[in-house]
Amino acid sequence: MKALSLVLVLPLAGCGVVDVVYKVSVGSGPRVYGIGKAIRETRKAQAVSTVEAGGAMKVDIRKGAPKLVVEAQKEILKQIRTEFRDGRLRMWIEGNITSDGPIRAWYTGPNVSSIEGSGATEFDATGLSGGSSSIVLSGASKVKAVG
């Protein structure tokens, strides 16, 4: 087994990462294509206990005063829905999109204790509220959470 591992690693030894390439296609209906550089948009925010995201996006969660920033290519930004209701922030991509840029959201709130993700969401959470926390993921979602 060691010899096989060595054979697989050696061809990659001279490779380096030059740039990160994004390519995301999700949804149904008429396709919306992202063009150009990603832009950031600050959206109305409020304190919630649950952050839920679906689709293919990266979500950073931090402790602090309520704030929500969303980043994507201009055409894709219009397709990203955010909704605050019943102590929950819901984020999802509406329709059929293809993007070669990042799709990200940054939420800051004082009392986040629950994270829910579906599709291919990635969460990076720091400073979740004290006590018990809940993390529910489906699809290819993943989370990195630190107290």
Write down all domains in the chain, each with its CATH number in brackets.
Answer: 29-146 (2.160.20.120)
Give dist(CA 15, CA 31) in Å, integer.
35
pLDDT band at 30 (very low <50, low <70, confident <90, very high): confident
Q: Does position 7 have pLDDT exceeding 70, yes or no?
A: no
Query: Which helix (DSSP H) or strand (DSSP E) does residue 8 occupy?
Result: helix 2-9
Q: What pLDDT score was predicted for residue 28?
A: 67
3-state SS, one letter per residue, for 86-121: CCEEEEEECCEEEECCCCEEEEEECCCCEEEEEECC
Q: Greater confidence, 140 or 29?
A: 140
Residue-averaged pLDDT of the chain? 85
The CB-based long-range contact list for 136-143 (8 Å cut-off, 24+ gap) reads: 141/117, 142/117, 143/115, 143/117
State which H helix or E strand residue 2 sits in: helix 2-9
pLDDT for the residue 127: 84
pLDDT in tens, 88-114: 999 999 999 999 999 999 999 999 999
| Residue 57: band (very low, low, confident or very high) from pLDDT cuts 50, 70, 90 | very high
pLDDT in tens, 114-135: 999 999 999 999 988 767 889 9
Q: For residue range 61-94, list pLDDT tens digits in order.
A: 999 999 999 999 999 999 999 999 999 999 999 9
